[in-house]
Structure 1
Amino acid sequence: MSIRKFARHDLAVLARSGTGRLLVGLAVASVLGAVGAGLAMSNGPLTDEFLMFTIWLVPGIAVPFVATLTAAVSISSARDSGRLRLLFGTPITRLDVFAGTLLSRTVATLVAVAVGVAIGAVAVVALPIASFGNVVRAVAFLFLASVTYTAVGVAISALATTRVRAIGAAIGFFVASALWPHLVRTFGPTSDFGPAEPTAAETLTSVVGTLSPFGAFSQAATTERAIYAVAVTHPLLSTSTMVVVLLCWTLVPVLVAYRSFASTDL
């Protein structure tokens, strides 16, 4: 069986189990919730800045969290139940299982976010909003962050020996990732740069805070007046750098996990 065939099989399993519908429903509900929250916070006509913030706050947290959990139980459940050992008694290879699962879970996440964004866009177009530039950036990073957390979830699933451990590791990773920028700011030189030019130590604090997937997403998908975002005073705080951080979190865990998965005695 090829990677593509296994991915199609896994997508069919997702559809039958309801996990795919859960992802789509969550994405739609959270994006519409973001639109409603943005409208409420704007206290008048919807502004792109508030909508950008609520996209980060609602679907930006909900979708990656659920994507991580659902991906974390993909391979680990089959391993826990013994189905994985049976699969390897057929022509299916470990690469087929790992890459096929990664592909199917990524497609499922992207489709869910796309449906949510499409329905949310209908609601936004019906509302008076001056600019879409900030919103487009937030949505683009919502896609990227969701893929990143999905990849980490699959990596956790391949490394975990049981389903329960995979779920625990996935929750632990997401919480640590989300708390990272807050912890860095709390224990860094300062958490409020004010109007003055930040010092080198303050800039370093901001850079370190963006090294988790959630920190990078927060810096790129919100304006500098948001909770975890600061003004781009150094190239390491730029949007392009945040893309690199998220791509590293997408690729490195996958490569490390596959190397272990390919050599582990199941």
Structure 2
Amino acid sequence: MIQITDQEFQQLVHYIKQHYGIHLKAEKRTLVMGRLGSVLQQLRMNSFTEYIEYVQADPTGQASRLLADKISTNHTFFMREPEHFLLFRDQVLPSLVHQARDQDLRVWSAGCSTGEEPYTLAMIMDEYFGLEKSEWDTRVLATDLSSKVLDTCRAGLYEEEKLQALPAPWRKAYFQAAGPGKFKVAKKLQQEVIFRRFNLMEPVFPFKKKFHVIFCRNVMIYFDAVTKRQLVEKFYEWMEPGGYLFIGHSETLDREHTKFKYMMPAVYRKEG
């Protein structure tokens, strides 16, 4: 394995923080070498200095995207932190259907990883609206920094064990057998989720309309306090009054520096 020097590690940490917001601590050094070692070998490079210069000089952005894929942590599963989904179904949707103009309900899964979260949200809304679903636009925007996980999202192919936490009627209605031990998301559900690569560190968000609900769970644990506060301010700016922000249970917002109102652990609201 190619070793990374102190200086190289700090250069890489700076680049990753600057471009992706992710703050890598010193104890991640071995992980970085492990994840990037094969990339250096494929590129026939002998040092991380050579690799860093290559990433910085690449005009296509492909090298930077591959770096993002390698250093991103993508661990999730269906119905993760289920109380959030129950709240979304039982409290959030009933309150928002009266607020959403033109029957356009905008939900964003920011940091969607391999797709379990946005697909779960889409299933909940499909079941909630029932026969009236066709009258509503409830497509979920699902974004992630990693192109690799977005490919998994779009494929919609999951191991059977991944589906165990889902209610049996959902497994039957929204998935189809796709080979031994594998299930594919039904086409009607895939059409309800829009997957896009997006870097939360973009200085200006490119959206045309504000959101009613933002799920950004277990993403900001990788950011330092300043980066986190700046992102939360953007979420507030891009949220409709009365909208909800869901974060991970291991995360909190600094109540002295946010306009969001605390609702319950890991759930906040923009008062309208």
- Mark yes or no: TM-score above 0.5: no
Structure with more strand by fraction: 2
Structure with more helix by fraction: 1
Q: 1 or 2 for the larger relative contact order (CA 8 Å, sep ≥6)?
A: 1
TM-score normalised by L of structure 2: 0.29
TM-score normalised by L of structure 1: 0.29
